[in-house]
Amino acid sequence: MNDLQRFYINGEWAEPQGKQSLVVINPATEQAFATIRLGEQADVEAAVMAARSAFESYSQTSKESRIALLEKIIAGYSERIEDLAQAISSEMGAPIEFARKVQVMAGLGHIKVALSLLKKNDFAKMISTTKVIKEPIGVCALITPWNWPLNQITCKVAPALAVGCTMVLKPSEVAPLSAHIFAEILHEAGVPAGVFNLVDGDGAGVGSALSAHPQIDMVSFTGSTRAGRLVSKAAADTVKKVSLELGGKSANIILDDADFEKAVGRGVKGMMSNSGQSCNALSRMLVPESRLAEVEAIARKAVVSVIPGDPQDAKTVIGPVVSEVQWNNIQALIAAGIDEGAQLLCGGLGKPEGLETGYYVKPTIFTGVDNQMTIAKEEIFGPVLCIIPYKDEAEAIAIANDHIYGLSGSVWSSDLERARKVASRLRTGMVHINGAMVDGRAPFGGYRQSGLGREWGMHGMEEFLEVKSMFGYDAS
């Protein structure tokens, strides 16, 4: 049992004021493997005041010193890749190879990008006789989810450290172990006391207190759209900056001239990756109505390789979903799809055969889905794909855009120019053309109820900066 019942505040592991403990469950075994303490207002106050006190000096540190600090963090992180991978596999059920090669490396990538950008930027320019500078926004509250724990922590912490901000991190109470290891890495790297602080807790107890705190200058939140609304409301009274990365129900448009074997096969496997627990998952596959039967045959063949199982088994492709609550939510949505008349191509209700222990979901594909069905409208956050037929290109674009979300999307076509034109018509923050992967140097974020602001790369770094004009800086 991992005892995580201390918070990292002002450069040391401190005894929390909050007395309530929470047991953390391994979703593959349904057994407790760690215990955390839930923070309360006094813990938030201590962490915020530590960050506020540290901001005065840390915001004035040299670029060279922050470069050296990020380099030490990268070195320390690299030494603990296996610890981090095992933590993620235990806390949210990621297959160990996926945890090592994807989950953990995504986090390392964000720190390296922040270092590269810091080296190349002075955050200042002249406009006529005015000097315009970008400087750290201040004390930041960073609230992160369980599905990509290190990815979401590092894409906030790394740019904030790089530009000179101080911060309080509230990681997900469902997946706290990797966050505690990350705090150890920062401590060993020599992050000054108070610059980085960690307080465990839930949204109601710690998240809302951070969002409303008058000494917090910015909140960067990743999670559900419902929780994002609460963060925005809590932050409104103090008019602090809020950056939100929220839900998605992204469309994967496969045009009639695409390579169907490749596009459909990769679409199925990509949707199932991470057990479907990704906000940018391409969960709506839009295909030509005239070729629906062909698509269904390819999808059936592709899903066979999506093997659920023990996260510690190297052959496992997807592990369990993160919790019993999540499993129940997914089951209810699968039932809704069946009740509303969608055709079940594979999978369905219940657990996969032989996996009665653990929160495992059958890799599930619905076909003949209408865009107004519950399974097409709700973010399922599980290994459930909806195949939606369309009559022509115009209807495909209309279906893709007919949604409250606008996080990601995809277009497949043998004609690159055609794919580009369709991509330009999608009202979404990101589009993958012909299976292109994400780029950690490019902005990540969405339109509409998928959030506000951007993460990753320079756009993500600028979220942690304020802009100042110094008029008459050049007296000549």
Per-residue b/e over 261-286, b at no fewer than 16 CB within 10 Å? eebbbbbbbbbbbbbbbbbbbbbbbb
CA angle 90, 96, 101 (to 5 degrees): 125
Using alpha carbons, select from 135, 121, 56 the residue that is nearest to residue 467. Answer: 135
CA distance 307 to 44: 42
Using alpha carbons, select from 386, 382, 383 the residue that is nearest to residue 374. Answer: 386
Note the residue count of the chain. Answer: 476
CA distance 194 to 207: 19
Distances (CA, A) of 41 to 18, 47, 54, 207, 217: 8, 10, 20, 10, 18
The 3-state DSSP class for residue 130 equals strand
β-pairing verdict for 451-452 and 124-127: unpaired
Q: What does the DSSP assignment read for 6-73?
A: -EEETTEEE--S---EEEEEETTTTEEEEEEE---HHHHHHHHHHHHHHHHHHTTS-HHHHHHHHHHH
CA distance 292 to 304: 19
Set 40, 91, 173, 245: catalytic member:
245
Using alpha carbons, select from 266, 258, 229, 233 the residue that is nearest to residue 450. Answer: 229
CA distance 221 to 213: 15
CA distance 306 to 362: 10
| CB-based burial label for 364 (10 Å; 0-12, 13-18, 19+) | buried
Identify the DSSP state of 290.
Answer: G
| Residue 261 is among the residues annotated as catalytic for this protein | no
Using alpha carbons, select from 371, 100, 115, 112 the residue that is nearest to residue 249. Answer: 371
User: So which residues are the catalytic ones?
Assistant: 245
